[in-house]
Structure 1
Amino acid sequence: MRPHIFVTADPIDGLRSVESVRQAITSGHAKRLWDAQLAIAEQELANKVYEPGDRFPGRDEMSARHANRDYTVVHRAGTRALRAALINLITEDTRYRDDSLAQMEALFDTARWPEWRDIAHKGMNIDLRAGQLSRYLSIAYDWLHPYLNQDQRERIVEGVDRCGIQPYLQDVADGVRWANGTNNWMTCVVGGHGIAGLALSDDHPQSQDLIDYAHPRLNAYFDRYGPEGEFNESVSYANAHALPLLYFSAHRYASGGGENRIAAFPIPDTCRWMMYFTLPPGHVVPFGDSHIGRPPSAPMFAAVAEATRDPELQWFYLEHSVPDDPDADPWELLWFDPTLEPREPTIPRGRAYQGHSQNISVRSSWDPKAAECVVYGKGGHGSEGHGNHDSGQVCIDAYGKRLITDPGSPPGYPADFFGENRYRYYNASVLGHNVLMFDGEEMKRERTDCATILDSHFEDGEGGWWQIDVAALYEGVESIVRTVVYAAPCTVAVYDKATHPDASQVSLRWHSVSDPEWSPDGRFSVQNEDSGVDALVCSQLAEIGVTLQHHAYAEPYNRFRLGDVFEQKHEPYLDCVVSGPDVSILTLFRTRQGQSSENWEETSDGWSCGSSSVSLSSNELTVTDGPITWCVQV
């Protein structure tokens, strides 16, 4: 029976049929998804097919100039073929079949697409791009199958086999590392070819081999997740959680409604974990290798909501779905179940996760667009996948705007970014994060060099706090404990207490989204449109030297992997420096809406700013915002 991937020709209990999709797209969100996909497909009918040197909105000039087979152009080419196949399936308008075939023919033509591989990825036949394209074109084949003649079917199977499957199998035979890896390379490449096996089915003689190789590896991949569903790489890479979901959703359909793996641990748990680390108005926390402002992968929430009948995941999906995004995956229309009613989250607003990167967040509300305040941080270890030297990091957003920030990744991956030189780039270095640094030394690099979340507590409507010990990440340090307290809705205190007998200079950097207004006494204010934060850095043990600095890349650590020079970003930070072996630095923040800043002022027992007040004794930190007070032992 075809189609049989993500949609079925005939009705099957628990699965979407072609006819049920046709009925769903007449109203509501399904109609918005359909109208958007149809509009994109209609525009593409008038455009030439995608080739590696194409320039279009959203593609960087460097990749186009090099005619690189980068993610962006591969995604556009693959989704064009897939989208047109879906439109043909729903409307039976064969103009879209022909457009899908035209894009496939271009992809099979080595004069136009020399390889299904990024030119920066050496020492292998194929890479992530073949995982993408084998997946896209095989699913398109399944959807087009009833509308193709035998010659067209054979041409598609031959093209996917020659350009994707056989080079992939050769890499596997050669023992390429990603074939048994524990990151997005394995889930994309191995998973993508597993989906190809499911979609091509009996029309390819090695389909079952592709499935048999992928299935146990994709299933075992989840063993790498944390005990509460924590993704095994940095949170910024967690959209890759969608890759094994793709495979298991395809497998569920290909088996006629068999095992519902998507409903089982850790898949729904990881989606809820991602909810905590998605910031208003809709971007993922930028810890680790990240692109600032990247949205969460909304379609996977639709798939998991449908599989689990979870109304809160459905709510999250609907809040973050962008139907008219030209890069939207066409299967989103098939994954969204309009019969499942959404419900706003009832899960707690604050949570500290112990696994992997040990991410922590607390927020004033689950308002998806403009929560008054979100405070987020992490622990982690010295060898996080796509991670940085950022254990202890704390950032603050307010009213949907970034204020106290993480710089994210360099403008693109340098050639040496995943080797010994990684920490020469400030984005990955301790230099680029809001944490303590001792005499300019980097953090340690092993998996066993791990932070410890000592304690945490959160209450909805009141905020919460956490304490984290990061001493294991530093050489020669006797103790480092960071205490973070959030008194809802607007007050945050960060207290760093450390002892390093051999350190002569200790630095704490606070990165801000824009140049702050600041003074040498430690007061500073940051503005981002109509949101702002007023802050004070102070110490009871030593005088703090405060200066405004800006990052800059320096030769030779300032180039993309293709050799082009980075555009400098010059991200600002306040460098707060103290001397001596004992460190006691308290940083106070009050978020606000509007342009009017207000200073923190010293009082008889601490500091105050508007309705916020903070006091610190030898063993207790007290933080108040109006009627809300937190007292934490330090």
Structure 2
Amino acid sequence: MSELPPLARRRFLQQASTATAAWWISPRLFGSETPTTHVHPRIYLSASGHAGLRTPADLRAAIASDAWSRATWDRIVQLAQTEATQPPLLPHSPVPRRAAASIRDRNLDYHLCEATGTRLVRFALVHLITGDAACRAAALAQIEALYDPERWPDWIDQSHVRFGHPADLRTGMLAQDVAIAYDWLAPSLDATERAFIIEGLNRRGIQPFLTSVTQDAWWTHDLNNWLTVIYGGLGITGMVLAGEHPDADRLVSLALDAFERYLSIYGERGEFNESVAYANANRMPVALFLAQHYATAGGDNRLARPPFPELCRWVMHGTLTNRRLVPFGDCHPEAPVMAGYISAVAAAAQDGVLQHYYLTQQAETTNPLELVWYDPRVRPDSPAGREPLATAFTAHGGMIVSRTSWDPDRAACIVFAKSGREENHEHNDVGQLGFDALGERLIIDIGSPSSYPADFFEPHSRWQYYNASIRSHNVLMFGGREQRYPVRERGESIDVSDLAGKVTAWSHEPGHGTAWRIDLTPAYTGAIQVTRTVLHLWPGYVLVFDEAELDAAEEISLRWHTIDQAEPTAAGAFVVHGNHAACVGHIAALDDTDLTFRRREHAYAPPYHLERSGDPLEQRHESYIEATATGSRCRWLTLFASGTVTDFGANQHWQRTSNGWTFSGPEGLIEAKITTTEISLRAREAHRSISLA
């Protein structure tokens, strides 16, 4: 792929500005037509209402009649009116969740661009619906700042300049939001104001994008969020500017072609090629296809067809209690669900279960797009009784979930595991398992570092950061080696299915529990056979049986990451405490292996200890319990019993018997057995059991 020489982007912008400004800011922008010929709004709201498309009047009616829409609108208006009294956001502006290093370096990070674009669109919507003059003025002031090379020198993240292309994620984000704001402001703009906004979009978004496409940028090939954010942002820009910019049709065509390629990534049940914790990247396909539905005056609504309803159900199954997602891959485990796009799919498919999920997971927002995407006519239906409590997906990461209920706040226990490997933002975590109890994390996945290091996505160096490494996951490790992983260059597609495990046995007894077995052999080197068998006896009893046969004797390790600093005994017993929930664990070898137990903590070490800004990564010292031994085989059993802190404490232990283990809990005696023919967990007094042959 070709690259621009140093400072080429800045020179490109200056040349583009000089060459085109005089042409754009003139009546010729509209040809022989008047500005009123190009009717707006046309994206997400329709001036005509043709084919049942929602109009500004329809939105006003929903605000007046629907409680959720009214509450959301009131928050949007209040925030917009407050922001309208403030100066425009600039590269050094502090916004929520923004890193101090980005503010210091005036870098265009995600949080700044997201906040700026959402604020701009919020101004535009409030003005469109109410005629608020202050919001109109604030929107134009923010656009003027975005176009000013002295105040916003670039529309690109500094860490992406090294790729040599004039467009990146930030280009797509900002172009999209400026275009939507233009669409909603246009009825109140005169010809000069329209020309000013279109010229800036051309100079700062459209031409950098087209130049990057001509350069065959790597992100034109990778089927990940770079493609969707950049192509999607400029595709929506093209839909907004149809008839008003000579490249509008080309922008739309390029985007639709790219997104049709992108749709090939989804599994049969909607599985995404990244972890569910990164699923907010699906917002862009939703945004583009809904925009197309409006831009084609009510043409086919792609969101009503696969993979979109299935994708949203996959995300729903991957949602834990307290608005958190299953924390596989690159993620922040305590971050709230970002499910704003799901309301658009619920509306397109008239799906009450997805509507219920949206309302329970992301009910409060000040994002204007969520308000216009939401259809209050869709009646919410609880997933209880409509969706299974346990499911195993087979594509990509192969997410497995066993939950005791669909209670969004305090399900007794949710066990999450995986059999596969994602293609993007992945970790070496094939076979990973953890669980929550009563809405709290107990056996955990630690997620991402505080910020991405500069080489975090480069071949090999990624695994030097423990977050992505096998070292930070609750799986077997042999000889300290990583799991098998692909080595690919940016823009190169690789099939990773031969590095993934496979569910070979599955059993679910409604009201009793769930059991499964995974063949993990393909994920390892130096191994003849590796399997993991899991039983989840409801409510909160979990059995994990790990077996492996290796090519040669070497160190074997098993780690369990805990929310606290749980200390194991010499016999392998431990207790994990949350605020309200706890679990009692025990690790044992079912052969003559002499296991050693210890508690350890993670830490970053030079040279792999810096963010891409050069600042040190946050040292969190995540704690884990490790069992180790040396040999060529292992048959290791881990048992957990979880519940309230008062029910499960330091005086309780799993007891070994002549034919298994027992635990005395609030439901009476729990029995665990492993024989040559069957693995089982049974709550004797509760008449509940789960087994796997």
User: Structure 1: how far apart are the matches of 2:199 and 2:418?
Assistant: 48
User: Structure 1: how far apart are the matches of 2:568 and 2:457?
Assistant: 36
Are positions 1:81 and 2:135 aligned together? no
For the residue of structure 2 that corresponds to 1:202, the secondary structure is coil
2:475 match: 435
Deviation at residue 93 of structure 1 after TM alignment: 1.2
2:24 match: none
Are positions 1:551 and 2:551 aligned together? no
Which segment drifts farther, 620-629 or 384-393?
620-629
Is the Cα contact below 8 Å between 1:348 and 1:460 reproduced in 2?
A: no
Is the Cα contact below 8 Å between 1:481 and 1:497 reproduced in 2?
A: yes
User: Structure 2: how far apart are the matches of 1:323 and 1:437?
Assistant: 43
Deviation at residue 370 of structure 1 after TM alignment: 1.1
Deviation at residue 150 of structure 1 after TM alignment: 1.1
Match of 1:20 among 44, 58, 71: 58
Deviation at residue 299 of structure 1 after TM alignment: 1.7
Deviation at residue 49 of structure 1 after TM alignment: 1.1
2:677 match: 619
1:412 match: 451
Amino acid at match of 2:438: Y
Deviation at residue 517 of structure 1 after TM alignment: 4.3
User: Structure 2: how far apart are the matches of 1:393 and 1:267?
Assistant: 27
Match of 2:634 among 583, 589, 596: 583
User: Structure 2: how far apart are the matches of 1:428 and 1:59?
Assistant: 23
Amino acid at match of 1:431: R
Deviation at residue 191 of structure 1 after TM alignment: 0.9
Are positions 1:218 and 2:259 aligned together? yes
User: Structure 2: how far apart are the matches of 1:627 and 1:48?
Assistant: 66
Is the Cα contact below 8 Å between 1:491 and 1:624 reproduced in 2?
A: no
User: Structure 1: how far apart are the matches of 2:653 and 2:284?
Assistant: 48
The one-character-per-residue Cα deviations of 1:304-326 (angstroms, maximum 9, x if unpaired) are: 000001100000000011424xx
User: Structure 1: how far apart are the matches of 2:464 and 2:567?
Assistant: 29
The one-character-per-residue Cα deviations of 1:79-110 (angstroms, maximum 9, x if unpaired) are: 11100000001111121111111111111111
Describe how 1:285-304 pairs up with structure 2 within 5 A: 285-304=326-345
CA distance 1:459–1:271, change in 2 (3 Å): farther
Which segment drifts farther, 586-595 or 482-491?
586-595
Are positions 1:489 and 2:539 aligned together? yes
Are positions 1:268 and 2:309 aligned together? yes
User: Structure 2: how far apart are the matches of 1:459 and 1:210?
Assistant: 52
Is the Cα contact below 8 Å between 1:350 and 1:459 reproduced in 2?
A: no
Describe how 1:50-449 pairs up with structure 2 within 5 A: 50-121=89-160, 122=162, 123-324=164-365, 328-345=366-383, 346-381=386-421, 384-419=423-458, 420-446=460-486, 447=496, 448-449=498-499
User: Structure 2: how far apart are the matches of 1:218 and 1:604?
Assistant: 60
Is the Cα contact below 8 Å between 2:235 and 2:288 reproduced in 1?
A: yes
Deviation at residue 555 of structure 1 after TM alignment: 0.3
User: Structure 1: how far apart are the matches of 2:242 and 2:579?
Assistant: 54
The one-character-per-residue Cα deviations of 1:236-280 (angstroms, maximum 9, x if unpaired) are: 221111111100000001111101100111111011011111111
Alignment RMSD: 1.3
Q: For this pair of structures, how many residues does the alignment match?
A: 629
Higher-Rg structure is 2
Is the Cα contact below 8 Å between 2:567 and 2:625 reproduced in 1?
A: no
Are positions 1:602 and 2:656 aligned together? yes
Which segment drifts farther, 458-467 or 244-253?
458-467
The one-character-per-residue Cα deviations of 1:338-380 (angstroms, maximum 9, x if unpaired) are: 1111011111111111111111111000111111100011111
User: Structure 2: how far apart are the matches of 1:293 and 1:65?
Assistant: 26
TM-score, scaled relative to structure 1: 0.97
Deviation at residue 166 of structure 1 after TM alignment: 0.5
User: Structure 1: how far apart are the matches of 2:570 and 2:254?
Assistant: 61
User: Structure 2: how far apart are the matches of 1:499 and 1:488?
Assistant: 31
The one-character-per-residue Cα deviations of 1:26-81 (angstroms, maximum 9, x if unpaired) are: 24111111111112112201221111111233222111111110000111111111
User: Structure 2: how far apart are the matches of 1:358 and 1:148?
Assistant: 51
2:23 match: none
2:556 match: 506
Are positions 1:567 and 2:618 aligned together? yes
The one-character-per-residue Cα deviations of 1:160-202 (angstroms, maximum 9, x if unpaired) are: 1111110111010011011232000000001110000001221
Deviation at residue 388 of structure 1 after TM alignment: 0.8
Match of 1:32 among 52, 71, 82: 71
User: Structure 1: how far apart are the matches of 2:203 and 2:469?
Assistant: 42
- Identity over the aligned pairs, expressed in percent? 39
User: Structure 2: how far apart are the matches of 1:14 and 1:364?
Assistant: 41
Match of 2:502 among 448, 452, 465: 452
Is the Cα contact below 8 Å between 1:4 and 1:142 reproduced in 2?
A: yes
For the residue of structure 1 that corresponds to 2:125, the secondary structure is helix
Deviation at residue 144 of structure 1 after TM alignment: 0.5
Which consecutive unaligned segments of at least 5 residues does structure 2 have?
A: 1-38, 487-495
Amino acid at match of 1:334: V
Is the Cα contact below 8 Å between 2:509 and 2:690 reproduced in 1?
A: no
User: Structure 2: how far apart are the matches of 1:518 and 1:297?
Assistant: 37
Amino acid at match of 2:626: D
**After TM superposition, where is structure 1 displaced by more than 4 Å over at least 4 residues in a row?**
none
Amino acid at match of 1:429: S
Is the Cα contact below 8 Å between 1:499 and 1:582 reproduced in 2?
A: yes
2:526 match: 476
2:26 match: none
For the residue of structure 2 that corresponds to 1:153, the secondary structure is helix
Is the Cα contact below 8 Å between 1:242 and 1:297 reproduced in 2?
A: no
User: Structure 1: how far apart are the matches of 2:501 and 2:617?
Assistant: 33
User: Structure 1: how far apart are the matches of 2:466 and 2:131?
Assistant: 53
